[in-house]
Structure formats: structure tokens, C-alpha cells
Amino acid sequence: MSERANSLRGEAELLVGDRRLILRPSFAALVAAEEELGSLFDLVERAANGRLMLSEVAGLFWHVIRDRPADLTRNQLGEAMMALGLAGVTPVLKILLKQILQGR
């Protein structure tokens, strides 16, 4: 059985094909995301105003994947997000944004 996300740590799950990815917004992962995407405060504000771009969501997800498989590409992650659609991606994004704002 594969490991599940720990909600007490602010983790979320995303299915990419037959793989369950655990997304964990650790300090190091969020710093890496911020270096690429800019201020996390601005990211959260854009999300709240419905102005978050798909590339930003993919970037955030990419950086917070815990134990990212070596053979996973960013394109595969993006394709999996498209397969899930906004309805499937939004709950995962919501968990991560809540963790960014509230912490543990």
C-alpha cells in the first residue's frame, strides 16, 4: 500500500497516472517555489482573486512534491493536472495555500 498524505502536516495528494504524489509544503520547497514564482503572499492573493495561472499552480506543485520520482517530468505533472481539470486540482491547491497561510 502506498503512503498517504498527512493532513496534520499540510500535505495533499495528487494522482499522476498510477502514482500517488505527496505534496508537502516544507520550508525548503516553498523557498524554491518562491524563487521561481515570486512572493508567496502575491501568489495567494492572485489565487484569492481568481488570477492564478496554470503555470504557477504547476510550479508550486512541482516544488512541493515530496520524494519526487526521478523519472517524473514537469510536463507529465502538467498533463496529469489537465486530466484532472480545475475541479480535481483546486482541492489540492486549496490545501497547500491554507498551509502556506496558516502554517502548522
pLDDT band at 2 (very low <50, low <70, confident <90, very high): low
52 contacts: CB under 8 Å, gap ≥ 6: 43, 46, 93
Query: Strands 12-16 and 19-23, how do they pair?
Result: antiparallel
Amino acid occupying residue 25: P
What's the pTM value of the predicted model, to 2 decimals?
0.92
Task: Render pLDDT for 52-80 as a digit per residue (tens, 0 to 9).
Answer: 999 999 999 999 999 999 999 999 999 99
d(CA 46, CA 70): 31
Chain position carrying cell 498551509 = 99
